[in-house]
Amino acid sequence: MENPSAPPCLDLSGISKRYPGVLANDNVGFTVRPGEVHALLGENGAGKSTLVKIIYGLVKPDTGQMRFNGRDFAPGRPSDARAAGVAMVFQHFSLFEALNVAENVALGMENPPPMRELAARIRAVSEEYGLPLDPSRMVGDLSAGERQRVEIIRCLLQDPKLLIMDEPTSVLTPQEVEILFRTLRQLSAEGTAILYISHKLEEIRSLCDGATILRRGKVVATCTPKEKTARELAEMMVGATLNPPERRPGEKGEVVLGVTDLSVESPIPFGTSLKSVGFTVARGEVLGIAGVAGNGQDELLLALSGEVRTEADKVRINGHAAGDLGPADRRRAGLVAAPEDRYGHAAAPDMTLVENAFLTGAIRMHLTRHGFIDWAGARAFAEQVIKDYDVRTPGPLVAARALSGGNLQKFLIGRELDQSPEVIVINQPTWGVDAAAAAAIRQAILNRAAEGAGVVVISQDLDELLEIADSFAVLNAGRLTKPRPVEGLTIDQIGLMMGGAHGMEVAHHGH
């Protein structure tokens, strides 16, 4: 619980950090009191991650002061921050799949105790904070939510005074979100301050005591989120008003993607094999595939993109058997694909945006001439995507890794949608993007469908799917339910389809 008279746990003033071509943090100051759950809000690229990396000792500010628990604070590296009582749970987990929970926790500790003692301590913390986790389980077998618990428990074992969480709920099911929030409220009641980054405004309204809003690196407002509507919060972030996506009722055309009895052995360690998956998508149709991540979503994307090949007639693009074609030939046939993992798989982080645009755009955008790369064409294509999707970047020649997470996502999705595709397959299209950008991406998907593309959107976000999909199916343990039209679909029917989908709750929360 926040104590207004207590001295601040964290006090920042005049923090600035410049990167080539962008002032990521511009004279930022705010305070967080002990026990306060404080949200850091802002659109993609506003400077939130940069700021928390400064607090955690990963990035050095150019100017500014920090005080932590009444003392000057200038961590040179994360271990300094941890020693002072700052813990951080990242968006991307750094766990070893082939090791068990306790072994993973031990790897992150400076002086790990003997394994039995550590396992007992993990059990104790897990019980005390209502975070179910068995220390002897292999991390590879855990859901995203359980993996996050490993990271949180690792933090709690250090008894932090400030816990930083960067978009913690994007990988969680609604039930897992409830469990997490209970834990965070308990920590807050015990006096732990929490700095919380998220684009999910309803969650922020229910959880956070205070908020600092950043726009283009500057603090533009502070507020009490409960006293604002989600819309007001979003509008404070972007400084403009927002519109829900518009659906143009399009005619459905002939089937453009057909999948029949597709069974695929997972090429991913600890992955889920696909079991006799079948569906069709017509021109103008958006098929939404729901389900908890790890139930075959990545495998389905690989089998559709051509990175995993099957018998020819299992996948048909535009009526032609394509199951035995690789990614380049499938692109030639009209299919574009955007996988979820934007760093390892979708983008080459050290390459420029122009090079990344070339990587998947070469074929459909005709970016080679007589065997040579048409760099001017690739650059023009990258610039088009940057413009169409409002990607905030100093220019097309920066490395992909220099973009904020949400801006890279906008670029990668835009790069696919801008190739006049006939079939689009996207996993988690709005992962990590702000409300305005999410609306723009959904609108772009609907526009491509209205122009005649057939679209498969895989997402964990039910609301997103119900907003843009014409038909709806659930992927669970590698099996796909029969797609049904979204129109007229009741929450009860969705519940039945979800039936086997462990841990995925049907409730619409927060709206």
Ligand X SMILES: Nc1ncnc2c1ncn2[C@@H]1O[C@H](COP(=O)(O)OP(=O)(O)OP(=O)(O)O)[C@@H](O)[C@H]1O
Measured CA to CA, the distance from residue 504 to residue 498 in angstroms comes to 7
Q: Is 371 helix (H, G, I), strand (E, B) or coil?
A: coil
Considering the complex, what minimum distance in angstroms separates the CB of residue 19 from ligand X?
3
Residue 342 DSSP code? I
Considering the complex, what minimum distance in angstroms separates the CB of residue 404 from ligand X?
3
Nearer to ligand X, 45 or 61 (CB): 45
Considering the complex, what minimum distance in angstroms separates the CB of residue 203 from ligand X?
15
Residue that has been written with the tokens 């991406």 in this structure: 441
- Cβ atoms within 10 A of the Cβ of 369, count? 9
Supply the DSSP string of 373-416, one letter for each residue. Answer: E-HHHHHHHHHHHHHHTT---S-TTSBGGGS-HHHHHHHHHHHH
Nearer to ligand X, 24 or 486 (CB): 24
8 Å CB contact between 175 and 506: no
Considering the complex, what minimum distance in angstroms separates the CB of residue 64 from ligand X?
15
Q: Which positions touch ligand X (CB under 6 A)? A: 19, 22, 24, 42, 44-50, 392, 402-407, 432
Considering the complex, what minimum distance in angstroms separates the CB of residue 208 from ligand X?
16
Return the structure tokens found at 223: 């507020």
Nearer to ligand X, 104 or 409 (CB): 409
Nearer to ligand X, 303 or 403 (CB): 403
8 Å CB contact between 130 and 182: yes
Measured CA to CA, the distance from residue 408 to residue 341 in angstroms comes to 11
Phi–psi pair at 278, nearest 5 degrees: -145, 135
Nearer to ligand X, 157 or 440 (CB): 440
Considering the complex, what minimum distance in angstroms separates the CB of residue 49 from ligand X?
3
8 Å CB contact between 471 and 287: yes
Nearer to ligand X, 100 or 352 (CB): 352
Considering the complex, what minimum distance in angstroms separates the CB of residue 236 from ligand X?
14
8 Å CB contact between 288 and 461: no
Would strands 193-197 and 210-215 be described as parallel, antiparallel, or unpaired? unpaired
Length of the chain: 511
Nearer to ligand X, 126 or 407 (CB): 407
Considering the complex, what minimum distance in angstroms separates the CB of residue 226 from ligand X?
22
In this chain, which residue has its C-beta nearest to ligand X? 406
Return the structure tokens found at 21: 């071509």
Return the structure tokens found at 32: 């967080």
Considering the complex, what minimum distance in angstroms separates the CB of residue 144 from ligand X?
18
Nearer to ligand X, 214 or 453 (CB): 214
Q: Which of 191, 229, 237 is nearest to 48 (CA)?
A: 237
Nearer to ligand X, 86 or 403 (CB): 403
Considering the complex, what minimum distance in angstroms separates the CB of residue 124 from ligand X?
34
Q: How many helices (H) and strands (E) does the chain have?
A: 16, 23
Phi–psi pair at 425, nearest 5 degrees: -125, 120
Considering the complex, what minimum distance in angstroms separates the CB of residue 20 from ligand X?
6
Half-sphere exposure of 309 (CA within 13 A, CB side): 11
Nearer to ligand X, 313 or 383 (CB): 383
| Cα→Cα distances 58→76, 82, 233, Å | 8, 11, 29
Nearer to ligand X, 19 or 96 (CB): 19
Nearer to ligand X, 47 or 288 (CB): 47
Would strands 162-166 and 193-197 be described as parallel, antiparallel, or unpaired? parallel
Measured CA to CA, the distance from residue 369 to residue 302 in angstroms comes to 29
Environment class of 251 (CB within 10 Å of its CB; exposed 0-12, middle 13-18, buried 19+): exposed
Q: Where are the alpha helices (DSSP H) in 36-159?
A: 48-55, 78-84, 101-107, 115-128, 144-156
Contacts of 370 (CB under 8 A, 6+ apart): none
Considering the complex, what minimum distance in angstroms separates the CB of residue 59 from ligand X?
8
Q: Which of 408, 423, 378 is nearest to 285 (CA)?
A: 423
Measured CA to CA, the distance from residue 276 to residue 477 in angstroms comes to 11
Nearer to ligand X, 242 or 491 (CB): 242
Return the structure tokens found at 427: 């996993």
Considering the complex, what minimum distance in angstroms separates the CB of residue 47 from ligand X?
4
